[in-house]
Each structure stands twice: as C-alpha cells, then as structure tokens.
Amino acid sequence: MDDNCMIREGDSIIFDERGEKMSFMKVKASGKVKVGKLTLSMQPFVGAPFGAMFEVSADGKEFQRLKRPPGEEVTNVLDTERDNSNLLDRNTDNQKLSHDEIEALKQSGKSGSEIIAELCNNSATFESKTEFSQDKYKRKKAKKYMIHVTLRKPTARAICQAYYDKGPQRVFNLRFDSLAAMLSLANIGAGGTALVIDNCMGVVLGAVMERMGGHGIVCNAHVDMAYSCDVIKSMNFTEKERSVLFSSSVGSLKKAFQEQVSKLEAGVTLHSNQCITEEAEPVASCMEDSKLSEPTLATSTSDACDHGRTANGVLPTVPGTVPSVDNNFQAVNTSCTEVALIDAGMASLKTASTSKTHSGSSTGAAAPCLLKLGSAGFSSCILAAPRMNPTSLMSQVLPLLAPSAAFVLYSPWSQPLAECMHQLQTSKSAVLLQLHESWMRPHQVLPMRTHPEMMCSGTGGYILSGIKVCTSDGSTPLTGDSLYSSKPSSIHTLGAGATECAPDCTKNLPGRKRGRKNY
Amino acid sequence: MYAIFRDGGQGVANTADSGAARSLSVSDRNIRTGDLVIVYESPQAMKAVTITENGRYDNRFGNFAMKDWIGKPYGSKVYGKGGKGWVTLLEPTPELWTLVLRHRTQILYIADISMICFNLELKPGHVVLESGTGSASLTHSLARAVAPGGHVYTYEFHKERADEARKELEAHRLQLVVTVTHRDIMALGFPVLNTASAVKGQPVISAAPPLSSTAMEVLAASAPEVMRLEDEGATVNPCNEVVSEADAAAQLSIYHDGNVDAIFLDLPGPWKVVENAARCLKPNGRFCSFSPCIEQVQRTSEELRRHGFTDMHTVEVLLREYEVSAERLYECSRSTGRDVTVHEPGSLQLRNISNADENTLLLQDEAAPLQERENLKEEQDHAGSYDDAKMTPRIRNHIDSPRGVEVDTASKADSQSHKRRRTEEHGHDDEAASCLEAHGPAHVNLKATRGPKAALEDTKTLSFHTTSVLCRPCVKARGHTGYLIFARKFV
C-alpha cells in the first residue's frame, strides 16, 4: 500500500510555525498563509513532500525550501573554564543595537544568521558568557529572527501532540503516550471491530481509523449527543480508510444487536460475506439513513474545497448549530483557505440537515453495517468521554462487546475510573483490570548538557483497561445479562460468587471463605 | 487485528476482505483445534497453550481436558474435573503475548512498545525494520500495526534466537507479515545495495545472495544510482541468471534502499547503524532507538544530527499502576464532642503481615467482608478455588509482600463479638451488599456501627465511617526501562 508522501492540492497539513504554533491547513496553490505579520503564498507547498521545511526569504515575500536541517551546527563545547561570576544583568542595556537598528537590519535583507551574528557582536556580555550560554543565546535568537515552518503530515501522533501542547483542555489532557497505550491495550488493529466513544475532538477516533487502514469496522458511538470529530476531516484519509467508519448511538446498536441475536436464535443464518462486496455502499447509506441527530458530511456531497478527500465527520446534533470547525489549536488564524473550508463545511451541513429526514426505525441505521459484525460484538473498545460516568457508561457498552474483547476507558480523573474498576471486579465481568497512568519524561540531549527537560507535563490522564469475559459459562454476551444484576450472590463472598458458574459446587458453606483464616 | 494469532497475516495479507470477513463471523470467536489460547488464572498466572484434541491442562484448580474447550467462545470460564475451580480462556493479543512469552532476552513492555508503534506512525502498509529481534515481544505489536499490506523485517545476530523467533512467528501464522533474518546489524548494517560510504569499512552485503541479471535489469531501470557498485567496492555478486519477475522482485526485496517507513533499534551500539539507517529510510521516515544508558543516548543523538535527521526527541515512558480498594475512613464523632479514635475495638489497623507473629489474628469486622473483599480484589478475577488452605490474601499485581487486615485484640469481649459476627456473615454480607447497591460504590455509605466497647462505655457515642472506593499508586513500581530516541529523516 503506497502511502502518499507528496502534498497534493487539497491535502491537509499541520502547519508548524517555528515549533511554537500549530494549525490545521488545507494546501491550495492559490492559497495564502499568515506568518507573523506577513502573508505569503502557499504555492511552494504544493508538490513538496510532507515534512518539508521552509523559511521565509530575507525579503519576506516568499517561502524558500530548506536544504539542510536547521540548527545542525551544535556547539561542541570545548572550554568549560568560564563562569558567570562577572556577568551583570542590565536588561536591554547589554545589547548595543537599538530596536530600530535591528528592524533596519531585518529590512535590509540580511539573512537570519547574519542578524544573529550582528547581535552577538554588539552584545556587551556575549564574549564573557560560557560556551553553553552563548549557544543558548544564539538558539534563542534564531528562533526569533529566523522563521522556519514545517509542513507536517497530519498523523494521529502529530495531531495528538499538537492538541496536547496547544489546547489540552479540549482533549481532556489526553497526552500522546496515553493515547499510544490505549491503542495497544485495546488491541486496535486492522481487521478488528472497534467501538469508540470519543469526546476528544476526534483525536482518538482518528488514531483508531489510522490503525485500521481500511480494514475492519470502527463504530463512532455516542449516548445522547454526537460529539464533534473534526480532526478526522484533516487526516487525509483515503476513500478506503474512511470506509471503515460508521456512527451510531449506543441505543441503536443495542437494538440492532438484539435483533441479530434473536434472528440467530430463530435459525436465520447470517451471511456476512455478502456484505463485504458492498463495502463502500453500506457505510455511506448508514450515514445517510441515520437519525437526524447525526448529520454527517456524506462522501458524495463534497464541498468546494474538497477533492474527494474529506473524511466523514460527525457533527454536533442540534440542528442549526454551528459545527465547531476549529482548524487551529490556538486563536483562530483566518487564512483564506480555512475560511473557505468553514463556509463549505457549513453549506454541506445545511444540505445534510435539510435533505435527510428523520428515519423512523433506529435499527435501520446500523443494520447493514452490523451484519458485518454478526452478533459477536465488538472486539475492541475505547471510551474517551470523560464527562460520562464510566460506571454507567460501561453498563451500557459492555453488552455490546464480544467476550475476550479488550476495552479501555480514558479519564483525566482517577476516581471515576477506580469506581468503575471496582464495579467490574465485583461483578466479575472482566479480567486483567488495570488502572494506569502514563508517566513520560522528556530529556534534552546536547553535548555536555544532557538532562531531563526543565519543562515537563504533569499529567497525561488515566487509563482503565481490561478484558471482558463471559458472565456465565458459554453464554453469548447479549442474552440480557445485566452487568450490575442485583443478585446478592454475585456481589457477595468469593465462594458464593462461584455458585452461578459451578452448579456442582457444594462447598459454599458459611465460614469457609476463600482467603480467610478459620478460627 | 485481533485475529493476528489465528488468521494472522495469512488470511488478511492475501485477500484483505475475505480475511476480515472470516474473522468477523460469529463462529470465528470460538476456540478451534490448533489455536493458541491464553489460559488465565490471575494477573500473575497466565499461560499460553495450543489446543489439541487430546491435550490436557492441569493446575491447582483442576484437571482440564482441552477437547471440552473446543467450540467454546473465547472469554469463557471453563471448569475442571475435581470441581475445584475454573480458568478463563482468552484470545491472544500482542499485549497478552508479551506477558506470557518465554523470555530469551530482556523484553520490552507495553509502555515502550505502545510508544514505539505510535511514534513511528505505523499503519497498515508500512515497512518497518527492527534490530534485534530478541524474544519478539515488540515484533508482534509491529506486525499488528503494519498488517495487512505492510511488512516487518527483523534481524537477530544470535542464530538460535533467530531460528526460534522464526518458528514462533510461523506458529502464530505471521510468516507473511514478518521476515526474520540472521544478521549482525551493528557489523553489517541493514542490507542496502548502494554501499557508497555505508558502515565504515565493511562490505554491507557480503552475506547477501547473488543478484540475478533480471534483478540487475530491474535495478538499472528503477534505481540507476545504485548501479555504481564497482566504484564503491561493493560486493554484489551479479550472476548471469535469468529469473522470473517475481523472483527478481523477491531478490531485490531484501534490500532496503530508501523504501523503509520506520526503523527501530534495540542494540548496544545504535550509533554505529545511524548512517545505514539513514540510507534505508524514506525521506520523512522515522527512526527510533531504545537504550537503557544515557551515554548511549548521547552518542546516538550526535550521530543522528550528523546524518541528516531532525526533530530529535528523547523520552522515557512508564505505566504507573494504581490499586483500587474499598476503604473505610473514620470520622470524628459529633454527639459527645469526643474524637473517636481508631484504636477502639472493632476498628481496623492495616499492617504488613509478612512477618506476622502468631498472636495476631485475622479478624473480621461487621463490614469487613466488604472491606476484605475489596482489598482482595485480585482474588475475584482469579480462578475460583474453594481450597481453604489458601488463606493469605494476595496483593495486587507485582507486589510481593502480602498485606492483610489485622486487628490487635484488645479484650475478650471483642473476640466473642467477633465470633458472633462471623457466623452472621451472610447476613452482614447482604447488608453490606445492599448498601453497596443502594448507594453505589461511589457514594458515601454512612453506616452506624457500634463498637462493643463503646457500647459498654458510652451508649451515646456512635462511630461513623464511610466506605469509599479509593485508588492509590502501587507501592512497587518500575523505575526505568530505557530511553527512547525518536527522530525524523530530513526531507
């Protein structure tokens, strides 16, 4: 499978400005991008490879491609004798060049490195600084006077990292190492069937779809209101990669499953194979037939900017509301292309809302796609909707999972997950239950200056993972077994817990409890 | 792809959709002969077994005949003869495999594995190189990430380990997704055709089989710059053999010039391979190296800078585990204005009983069944056992020292009342359970209890406690595994 590595007209990128500012952008030859006070053409971006670095030309008129990675000349510090005993901090007095003189330098067309050289020469303290300090000074100035931009590929990792750095509250502090662990613990892989509830802008959903690579099923579920999943529109998914996605409410899924189960029990065989041929079809129809509560950007109605590459996104339910199309991580940077995208997005949303009528039967929505699933249930599950109480959410979602399915819940708070874990343990619905926090420490690695970074992230959220098991021997998961059935015996003593499973067990006598001394 | 150990790369790599269809139908979630199954007793006791018609599985919970397992769905509890208990049969995943595999070398665990797969931006269709294979812990996760359509080329310098890994991956039906090669990467680098100033002083492809003339023609057409072989002293052995296009493609496929999406190194001296790695990677390709020591990290970073890599960042990751239990917290009494201390009879004192002396008894308080049950939460996902001899409660994952609930018996009155309570256990359980159900585990459960001594002393004093589900980090934790250096090939 050939991964596209050149930027084409209409592709999305993450525009990384100086490593400080990140924004989603659609590349158009005729488009313009704003960098600081300058507005420059995007023309050089089209046809450049993903990951290409550009710098603003000395005259500030255009982007120039960088041939070598910047900053590769790292000072190998030789002299370690100097120290800062004689340096006095006199704020801006140490720099002899005035602000106006520096501006003049910039205007005169001198390159960034020349300006920095001038600044160093005119600094009263530069020579007496230690070499480490000189290096740091130069790097700091480089960041300021040399504008480097990188056109990053919008992969799940890059997006998650960008959101965590620039807008963590919108993703509930989901850090990329936590997301990485979630994908592994939930056994996300191509060909599997994944149930995802994502209230983190679609970052989780996008990561799952990326791993699916067009094989399997990803169900974007919600309980009441559909969540905004804008991110997946900006990941350059191909038609095939998008085809795995369908969305539904949890209630619809349950109904549909129960229908499948009753059909099975009635002896109707399911021919999942025949659905495979209509792969592209059912997904689109699923999305069109679904309730009005889930307006989507159908693949056929492409907006003006889109060249068949918009992903299907699930937009907020309330008809008439403005979808939170937020292509930037920071304050809105309205480049012309983005505005066009938003307008077009709005237009197609309106079309979707008005043309789709409320579908009477909720099961009609998910049915064609669920035929693929059979009645086995999902094989993986990621729940990243921290505003929902995990315990109650799991009680709804657990029956939809196949036995031996791996599930993961994410929350920035540990307590709700602890309570959910406790409930799952006492009801014996899952094994290998683990509550984790991912700890990550970045390091600065430079010659003679290697140490952990001074600034570090304090939290990446908590992860509850487990594997669902059959509640009783051999039964299918959807025969109405309530997760939290209030049969006293199921919550009780350890010995009694076995009675429902081992009919031949006669040892459940008082006083003879597992794990307790007799006295 | 959850079917990785069953259909594995086979079904999915051949015909993408039919494999998916197979693995999605209901019957495929059932255990079949020849399947690899994870037999789960507890988080610390899991074992991988292959199902055979006449196989048996015996442990302290019973004797199990494997033929009883065939046809059952994964995730079932199965009971053994002897009626002592059950085990749970789980479908293998790369994560479970990492926990049960036989260690031939030190392995990577989930925290690092997941970071590697995610930060290398792997997805189906990608080509990834790995060195060294080791016990193939990471290899399974890489395979899951790039299948179908992608490939993992993994290299191991120890011949026996390479063979064993290859056999294992075949048994897991991954041979179409993973190629294990015996090769010393630090000495020879990954196989590349363009050996111009490759690993210093070493002919890179000395171990490579000769290239047929068909392959040479393909090369000349597709990558003419690679044909300056004689100049650089390369030792490609062109032979005048004409083969089919498919064979020529296979011959060329072992060379990785500029067609690799990601490279992972777990070597003692990864800096030696950086230049070669740069040659293998596509532009914008990703590099990762795992090193336990900071000196290795420094040298590797220096080499990365010199060979056209950018966006270097070095991190450590760990998964910190939390343990969850229902604990009782006491409140100050308001009725008499006196503090209710925790030393009154009927209270609980938590102490490490690894050195428990004989005089301390393991007692139960009225609500203790609930309490202990929560503290012994790992017991609940154990296999069931009615063996009374097993008395000491075991602790959450990875902690060896047992912890129990013990009370210093203060007076005889206590022991009598405790005995009374014990026989009424069922009743108390109902009470505790109904409290739980009524209020849910999250809610504060105010339950007035009367300590017997308090009852004797002062009938007006009531001790209130609340039982809440609490979590805290595990005492025993991993300190360090290694540093992960990530970099991107400049484009």
* A97 & A184 share domain: no
**Which residue of chain A is at minimal alpha-carbon distance from B46?**
A432
As a whole number of Å, the CA-based R_g of chain A is: 28
Residue A484 counted as domain residue: no
d(CA B235, CA B427): 83
Encoding tokens for residue A395? Answer: 């009680």
* A388 & A259 share domain: yes
Answer whether residue A497 shows pLDDT above 50.
no
Interface of B with A in 280-319 (CB under 8 A): 282-284, 294, 297-298, 301-302, 305-306, 308-310, 312-319
* A257 & A172 share domain: yes
pLDDT band at A331 (very low <50, low <70, confident <90, very high): very low
Of residues B453 and A35, more confidence is placed in A35
Residue A82 counted as domain residue: no
Residue B358 counted as domain residue: no
As a whole number of Å, the CA-based R_g of chain B is: 30
d(CA A468, CA B153): 33
CB atoms within 10 A of CB A108: 11
**Which residue of chain A is at minimal alpha-carbon distance from B24?**
A373
A515 interfacial to chain B (CB closer than 8 Å): yes
Of residues B347 and A229, more confidence is placed in A229
- The predicted pLDDT at position B415 comes to 41
Flag if B397 and A434 touch (Cβ within 8 Å). Answer: yes
CB atoms within 10 A of CB B222: 9
* A135 & A174 share domain: no
Most confident range, picked from A41-50, A324-333, A403-412, B8-17: A403-412
Flag if B425 and A428 touch (Cβ within 8 Å). Answer: no
Distance from CA of B261 to the nearest CA of A (A): 9
CATH of the domain at A250: 3.40.50.150
* B155 & B275 share domain: yes
Q: Which residues are bridge partners to A197 per DSSP?
A: A383
- The predicted pLDDT at position A111 comes to 66
Flag if A51 and B284 touch (Cβ within 8 Å). Answer: yes
Residue B118 counted as domain residue: yes
CB atoms within 10 A of CB B243: 15
Catalogue the long-range contacts made by A109-114 (C-beta closer than 8 Å, 24 or more residues apart). A109/A58, A109/A59, A110/A58, A111/A58, A112/A55, A112/A58, A112/A142, A112/A145, A112/A146, A112/A147, A113/A142, A113/A146
Residue A289 counted as domain residue: no
Residue A167 counted as domain residue: yes
Residue B284 structural domain: 98-193+253-319+480-489
Interface of A with B in 365-394 (CB under 8 A): 372-376, 379-380, 391
Beta carbons of A304 and A297 less than 8 angstroms apart: no
- Lowest mean pLDDT: which of A89-93, A101-105, B347-351? B347-351
The gap between the terminal CA atoms of chain A, to the nearest Å, is 68
Beta carbons of A201 and B114 less than 8 angstroms apart: no
CB atoms within 10 A of CB A281: 12
d(CA B13, CA B17): 9
- The predicted pLDDT at position B143 comes to 95
Residue B129 counted as domain residue: yes
- Angle among Cα A268, A270, A276 to the nearest 5 degrees reads 160
Give the pLDDT confidence of A479-488 residue by residue, as tens digits. 333 334 333 3
* B182 & B118 share domain: yes
In degrees and rounded to multiples of 5, residue B61 shows phi and psi of: -95, -5
* A405 & A460 share domain: yes
- What does the pLDDT profile of chain B (491 residues) look like in tens digits? 345 666 544 444 333 343 333 334 445 678 888 889 999 998 889 999 999 888 888 888 788 888 889 988 999 988 888 767 889 999 999 999 999 998 888 899 999 999 999 999 999 999 999 999 999 999 999 999 998 899 999 999 999 999 999 999 999 989 889 999 999 999 888 888 766 554 454 444 444 556 777 777 777 776 665 555 544 444 455 666 777 777 777 777 778 888 899 999 999 999 999 999 998 999 899 999 999 999 999 999 999 998 989 999 999 999 999 999 999 988 886 555 444 444 444 444 444 334 444 343 333 333 344 444 444 444 444 444 333 333 333 333 333 333 333 333 333 444 444 444 444 433 333 444 343 333 333 333 333 344 444 444 444 445 678 888 999 999 988 889 999 999 999 98
pLDDT band at A506 (very low <50, low <70, confident <90, very high): very low
Residue A410 structural domain: 156-267+366-468
Distance from CA of A213 to the nearest CA of B (A): 5
**Which residue of chain B is at minimal alpha-carbon distance from A277?**
B17
Q: Smallest Cα–Cα separation from A243: which of A220, A271, A215? A: A215
CB atoms within 10 A of CB B164: 18
Tokens 């995610």 sit at which residue?
A: B118
Answer whether residue A158 shows pLDDT above 50.
yes
Enumerate the residues of chain B whose CB falls inside 8 A of the CB of residue A450: 294, 297-298
* A244 & A373 share domain: yes
- The predicted pLDDT at position A178 comes to 96
- Lowest mean pLDDT: which of A227-236, A485-494, B480-489? A485-494
Reported ipTM: the value is: 0.72
Query: For chain B, what is the domain count?
Result: 2
pLDDT averaged over every residue in chain A: 71
- The predicted pLDDT at position A136 comes to 78
* B64 & B160 share domain: no
* B291 & B312 share domain: yes
Residue A401 counted as domain residue: yes
Beta carbons of B384 and B85 less than 8 angstroms apart: yes
Q: Smallest Cα–Cα separation from B137: which of B164, B107, B161? A: B107
- The string over B311-323, giving b where at least 16 C-beta atoms fall within 10 Å of a residue's C-beta and e elsewhere, is bbbbbbbbbebbb
Beta carbons of A150 and B490 less than 8 angstroms apart: no
- The predicted pLDDT at position B96 comes to 93
Beta carbons of B264 and B108 less than 8 angstroms apart: no
Q: Which residues are bridge partners to B486 per DSSP?
A: B288, B313
Residue A322 counted as domain residue: no
Residue B367 counted as domain residue: no
* B43 & B108 share domain: no
Encoding tokens for residue B246? Answer: 């498919």
* A389 & A463 share domain: yes
Q: Which of B77, B92, B107 is the last residue of a domain?
A: B92
Pairing of strands A148-152, A193-198: unpaired
Answer whether residue A518 shows pLDDT above 80.
no
* A455 & A381 share domain: yes
Could you list the beta-strand ranges (E) of A303-377: none
DSSP state, residue A347: H
Q: Smallest Cα–Cα separation from B72: which of B108, B105, B35? A: B35
Give the pLDDT confidence of A341-398 residue by residue, as tens digits. 333 333 333 333 333 333 333 333 455 566 666 667 899 999 999 999 999 999 999 9
Tokens 């056209």 sit at which residue?
A: B308
Q: Smallest Cα–Cα separation from A484: which of A401, A402, A392, A418? A: A392
Interface of B with A in 123-162 (CB under 8 A): 123-126, 141, 144-145, 147-150
A470 interfacial to chain B (CB closer than 8 Å): yes
* A34 & A182 share domain: no
Q: How many CA atoms lie within 13 A of A70 on its CB side?
A: 19
Residue B32 counted as domain residue: yes
- The predicted pLDDT at position A361 comes to 31
Enumerate the residues of chain A whose CB falls inside 8 A of the CB of residue B150: 1
Of residues A13 and B234, more confidence is placed in A13
Distance from CA of A130 to the nearest CA of B (A): 21
Flag if A519 and B361 touch (Cβ within 8 Å). Answer: yes
Q: Smallest Cα–Cα separation from B44: which of A65, A215, A432? A: A432
Give the nearest partner residue to A491 out of B72, B94, B433, using CB atoms: B433
d(CA A91, CA A51): 38
Interface of A with B in 478-507 (CB under 8 A): 486, 488, 491-495, 497-498, 501-502, 504-505, 507
d(CA B127, CA B148): 11
B100 interfacial to chain A (CB closer than 8 Å): no
CB atoms within 10 A of CB B159: 9
Q: Best residue in A516, A517, A519 to probe B by mutation, most B CBs within 10 Å?
A: A516
- Lowest mean pLDDT: which of A135-149, A214-228, B458-472? B458-472
Flag if B121 and A155 touch (Cβ within 8 Å). Answer: yes
**Which residue of chain A is at minimal alpha-carbon distance from B296?**
A445
Interface of A with B in 230-289 (CB under 8 A): 264, 270, 272-273, 276, 279
* B46 & B153 share domain: no
Of residues A213 and A107, more confidence is placed in A213
d(CA B337, CA B335): 6
Give the nearest partner residue to A183 out of B114, B309, B392, using CB atoms: B114
* A103 & A205 share domain: no
Tokens 């301390």 sit at which residue?
A: B360
pLDDT band at A207 (very low <50, low <70, confident <90, very high): very high
Residue B288 counted as domain residue: yes
CB atoms within 10 A of CB B465: 22
Peptide bond before residue B148 is cis, with ω within 30 degrees of 0: yes
* B41 & B74 share domain: yes
Residue type, A64: Q
d(CA B139, CA B266): 12
Flag if B372 and A516 touch (Cβ within 8 Å). Answer: yes
Average pLDDT over residues A456-470: 92
Average pLDDT over residues A158-168: 91
* B157 & B178 share domain: yes
Helix axes A390-397, A250-265, angle to 10 degrees: 30
Residue A483: strand, helix, or coil: coil
Query: For chain A, what is the domain count?
Result: 3
d(CA B451, CA B345): 6
Q: Which of B73, B92, B111 is the last residue of a domain?
A: B92
Residue A348: strand, helix, or coil: helix
CATH of the domain at A64: 3.10.330.20
Q: Which of A468, A485, A507 is the last residue of a domain?
A: A468
Residue B38 counted as domain residue: yes
* B310 & B175 share domain: yes
* B140 & B119 share domain: yes
* A390 & A451 share domain: yes
The CA distances from residue B77 to A484, B26, B64, B384, in Å, are 19, 18, 12, 10
In degrees and rounded to multiples of 5, residue A294 shows phi and psi of: -130, 70
The gap between the terminal CA atoms of chain B, to the nearest Å, is 32
Beta carbons of B229 and B219 less than 8 angstroms apart: no
3-state secondary structure chain B: CHHHHCCHHHHHHHCHHHHHHHHHCHHHHECCCCCEEEEEEECCEEEEEECCCCCEEEECCEEEEHHHCCCCECCCEEECECCCCEEEEECCCHHHHHHHCCCCCCCCCHHHHHHHHHHCCCCCCCEEEEECCCCCHHHHHHHHHHCCCCEEEEEECCHHHHHHHHHHHHHCCCCCCEEEEECCHHHHCCCCCCCCCCCCCCCCCCCCCCECHHHHHHHHHHCHHHHCCCCCCCCCCECCCCCCHHHHHHHHHCCCCCCEEEEEECCCCHHHHHHHHHHHEEEEEEEEEEECCHHHHHHHHHHHHHCCEEEEEEEEEEEEEEEEEEEEEECCCCCCCCCCCCCCCCCCEEEECCCCCCCCECCCCCCHHHHHHHHCHHHHCCCCCCCCCCCCCCCCCCCCCCEEEEECCCCHHHHHHHHHHHHCHHHHHHHHHHHHHHHCCCCCCEEEECCHHHHHHCCCCCEEEEEEEEEEECCCCCCCCCEEEEEEECC
Tokens 């991956």 sit at which residue?
A: B169
- The predicted pLDDT at position A496 comes to 33
Beta carbons of B335 and B480 less than 8 angstroms apart: no
* B272 & B152 share domain: yes
A105: Cβ contacts below 8 Å, ≥ 6 apart: A97, A114, A115, A118
* B62 & B151 share domain: no
* A197 & A102 share domain: no
Residue B77 counted as domain residue: yes
Most confident range, picked from A143-147, A285-289, B301-305: B301-305
Residue A223 counted as domain residue: yes
CATH of the domain at B162: 3.40.50.150
Residue A321 counted as domain residue: no
Average pLDDT over residues A213-227: 90
